[in-house]
Amino acid sequence: MSHSVLCGDFAHYQDPDEEWSVDGFRTADAATEYARRFIRDQVEGLRPEYPDPAALEQAFLSFGEYAIAPGFDLKPWLAHCIATPATKRVETDYQALDPNT
């Protein structure tokens, strides 16, 4: 069985033309880790322009990109990412986990 992560843009939430699927993860945990890193990368990309935590959250939810994976709960993870900036490249390197590369 293979697992997938559905990604898209909050500015066009649930618009099928603005969503894409990353398929081929061997486990749900692998898909979830991809989603976690993907979200963290989005947050870190916005952080320099939105240093205030509330503004950062609003910016992410307005025009950031989302990732949906089995067992992944965005809300607590987003709060963690906003409160705890990434300090290592591996924390945001979702591309390294893409089973299609």
Band of pLDDT at residue 40, cut at 50, 70 and 90: very high
Asked whether residue 13 carries a pLDDT value surpassing 80, the answer given is: no
Q: What is the pTM of this model?
A: 0.94
d(CA 55, CA 88): 23
Structure confidence at residue 18 (pLDDT): 87
List, for residues 25-36, the tens digit of each pLDDT value: 999 999 999 999
% of the chain surpassing 90 pLDDT: 86
Give strand pairing partners of 68: 6
Rounded Cα distance, 100 and 80, in Å: 28
